[in-house]
Structure 1
Amino acid sequence: MGIFDCTGVILAGGLNSRMNGVNKALLDIGGQSIMERTLALFDEIFGRVLVVSNNPLDFMGFDVKIVSDLFPERCSLAGIHAALFHAETPWIFVAPCDNPFLSREMVELVLSHRTDGATIVVPETTKGLEPLCAAYSRENLTLAENRLAEGRYKIQSLFRKKRTRKVAEEKIRRIDPELRSFFNINTPEDYRWALDMLARKGDG
């Protein structure tokens, strides 16, 4: 049964500069592009799915609604703002287009930590917060717009102590011991590492 009060959002607005211009979302992982893997996952979980991209023609072959940033700054906060603006649900769950190993269990763990008063739910490990594997209430729309207008482009500028709930690493590692859900492909070396991991684990 789908989660209908939350939209699954894939952020696909990066410049792919460290991948020599190759669109990371279209990299093949186990016979599917990363975009295909994430869309299939989100279609299982959510009633609505959005892709945020400033290059929508790259994704015209996918059966999904595509929207673009409303602010010209190329940053993840602008993508989150666009998703909040276009979402028709009270919450969004955000994932990047270059994350091949995000699991349903991780998405459900984050969403299970939504509580009254919280407007953001974000995983936290010893490496820090994971704002691109997190849930955001649409109550953050105006704040995101203000932060962008002020030139404050870090996602963490949305985080307010009493309104942000963190998911502890102990809980995360119970379902994802290697923290694979947070692995992003940014370089050719990362891509080779992902393919090696896939071969070792026998994932498909």
Structure 2
Amino acid sequence: MNNSCTGIILAGGQNTRFSGTNKSLVRVGGKRIFDRIYDVFCNLFQDIILVTNDPAPYLEWDLTIVTDLFPFRSSLTGVHAGLFNMKTPYAFFAACDTPFIKQNLIETILAGIAPHIDIVVPETSEGFQPLCAVYSRRCLEHATRQLEKQELKIDRMFKKLRVKKIPEQVLKKQDPDLLSFFNINTPEDLAKAEDMLAKL
């Protein structure tokens, strides 16, 4: 159990490509995606925060629910809200639509935490994975400044802070197919997830 790091789940998406359905409550392999993420987080973090502007569906879980402080539709607003509300020096962030996030991959990312590091982020052939990453409390000031300027891309912060990148070859030792980064945006993605699960 990591006492210096909060687990934060971001559930702020508009679900426009999913016919308005709450993606995090969709079932993959008979289990809700949110339950899959929450169960992994319970093994790792004493404090769990959910960032959502629709708290009602999540009242059954034992976690802290917070809402965005800025009105923009951006993952950065969720990261900002999590950083603002956390009580620990660090937080690990995950999106609510990642059904295959793996505990051992998160542990590899958490192992990169160090006093001189502000962000620990996976880097794959597709680029940074900023919604499966660790951010320190020091990032809050930078996130606030960006949002005040309406600069909504998370990775803009990376140029101003001390970043530790976790390379793909290290990530694949824990998650060979990098399934932790697979997220569900459409009904087609859901069908693909069911197919992937059947092959695991």
Partner SS, residue 3 of structure 1: coil
Shift of 1:161: 6.2
Task: Between 161-170 and 179-188, report the one with greater CA deviation.
Answer: 161-170
Give the Å deviation of 1:162: 5.9
Does residue 86 of structure 1 match 2:71? no
CA–CA distance in 1 between the matches of 2:114 and 2:90?
12
Q: Give the counterpart letter for 1:27 in structure 2.
A: V
Q: Structure 1's 177 and 161: CA in aligned 2 closer, same or farther, altered over 3 A?
A: farther
State the 1:116 CA deviation.
3.1
Task: Give the 5 Å matches for 1:32-51.
Answer: 32-51=31-50
Map of 2:196 onto structure 1: 197
Residue matched to 2:153: 154
Following the alignment from structure 1 to structure 2, what is the Cα–Cα distance between the partners of residues 10 and 42? Answer: 9
Could you say if the C-alpha distance between residues 162 and 12 of structure 1 is closer, same or farther in structure 2, counting changes exceeding 3 Å?
Answer: closer
Unaligned runs of 5+ in 1: none
Amino acid at match of 1:137: S
Distance in 1 (CA, whole Å) between partners of 2:160 and 2:142 is 14
**For residue 58 of structure 1, what is the amino acid of its counterpart?**
P
* Cα distance in 1, alignment partners of residues 129 and 100 from structure 2: 14
Aligned-pair RMSD on alpha carbons?
1.0
Query: What does residue 183 of structure 1 align with?
Result: 182
Change (3 A) 1:178 1:4: same
Conserved 8 A contact 2:91-2:135: yes
CA distance in 2, matches of 1:9, 1:62: 13
Q: How far, CA to CA, are the matches of 2:161 and 2:141 in structure 1?
A: 18
Distance 1:17 1:162, change over 3 A: closer
| 5+ long unaligned stretches in structure 2 | none
The corresponding residue for 1:30 is: 29
Which residues of 2 match residues 12-161 of structure 1 at below 5 A?
A: 12-160=11-159
Task: Give the 3 Å change call, closer, same or farther, for CA 39–160 of structure 1 in structure 2.
Answer: same
